Amino acid sequence: MVKKKQIREEFEKFFKSGNEKEIKIYLQKYPWLLEEVSSEMDETMVIQHLIVAALGVMEDETGGGVTVYEIVDCLRDDFNKKYTEDQINRILEDVKNLQLAKRGSDGWTLTNDGGRIADSYLNKMLEDFDI
């Protein structure tokens, strides 16, 4: 019997290369992979939405572009989360590729879609907050 670790590694190789035929074969043969991939993607999205929300908070506060340093401070002070500037930069590049944020000469800003995600994230956070 093939070990799950080996299956995951092989699947990841096909997933990263975009080989749809092999991806479909693996998902049909090993349906538990879909749940793992989905949960990883969900976790990534939660982190991206957190960063977008912090960017939105700082953008509202500064009235313009936001530096990575300001996002790090906001995450630490307002969200009680700790990320390095390198981590934030990588995530910002990802959300930029998703067209949720853009980088300008004065720093990072949200797109309209990014603004909606930030508002949604912050509203959800407020719903979960007990006064």
> What DSSP element (H or E) covers 115?
helix 112-128
For residue 27, the model assigns a pLDDT of 83
DSSP letter at 66 equals B
Q: Which two tokens stand for residue 95?
A: 């959300």
Give Cβ neighbours of residue 50 (< 8 Å, ≥ 6 apart).
75, 79, 81, 121
Percent of the chain with pLDDT over 70: 90
DSSP H helical segments within 81-111, as ranges? 85-97
Q: State how far the Cα of 110 lies from the Cα of 114, in Å rounded to an integer.
A: 5
Task: Please determine, for residue 121, whether its predicted confidence score (pLDDT) is greater than 60.
Answer: yes
CB 7 within 8 A of CB 33: yes
Task: Please determine, for residue 60, whether its predicted confidence score (pLDDT) is greater than 90.
Answer: yes
| pTM (predicted TM-score) | 0.72
> What DSSP element (H or E) covers 46?
helix 32-62
Greatest mean pLDDT among 10-14, 34-38, 39-43 = 10-14
For residue 129, the model assigns a pLDDT of 59
Q: Which two tokens stand for residue 36?
A: 């793992």
Confidence of residue 58 (pLDDT cuts 50, 70, 90): very high
CA 60 to chain centre: 20
For residue 42, the model assigns a pLDDT of 73
Residue 15's SS3 state is: helix
Give Cβ neighbours of residue 113 (< 8 Å, ≥ 6 apart).
99, 100
